[in-house]
Amino acid sequence: MVDELLTRGEKVGVLKVRLYRPFSAKHLLQALPGSVRSVAVLDRTKEPGAQAEPLYLDVMTALAEAFNNGERETLPRVIGGRYGLSSKEFGPDCVLAVFAELNAANRKRALRLVFTMM
């Protein structure tokens, strides 16, 4: 789906975290271009009672610290969301919904992706 959006001229990308712990802020920041304006962090976990999901919090912390230390000139807008819980599929329509939310004028802080089982 990302390749299709790129062929349409959209400026999008995907960064897949393959090893979460220990979290490497250094590698995240190296992989995330300085020109990035918006980031959606999709977690595949639900942390009841937590302010947000773990990956979202780690990405926010890494970006904020890099900005405060002068390692990044800008701080992208970051939204968090969950996917793939309870064996729900995350298909192309969900990818489009995430990118649409990133482009929305009044973006939410958190995404709630609702899936309908057919």
For residue 6, being part of any structural domain is answered with yes
Range of the structural domain that residue 43 is part of = 2-111
For residue 116, being part of any structural domain is answered with no
Q: Is 48 helix (H, G, I), strand (E, B) or coil?
A: coil
According to the model, what pLDDT value does residue 106 have? 76
For residue 118, being part of any structural domain is answered with no
**Cβ-contact 65, 28 below 8 angstroms:** no
For residue 36, being part of any structural domain is answered with yes
Structure tokens at 23: 């979290």
Cα–Cα distance measured from residue 61 to residue 10, given in angstroms and rounded to the nearest whole number: 27
Binned at pLDDT 50, 70 and 90, residue 63 comes out as very high
Q: pTM surpassing 0.75? A: yes
The CATH number of the domain where 107 resides is what? 3.40.50.920
Rg, the chain, Cα only: 15
For residue 61, being part of any structural domain is answered with yes
Give bridge partners of residue 81 from the DSSP assignment: 42, 111
Number of compact structural domains in the chain: 1
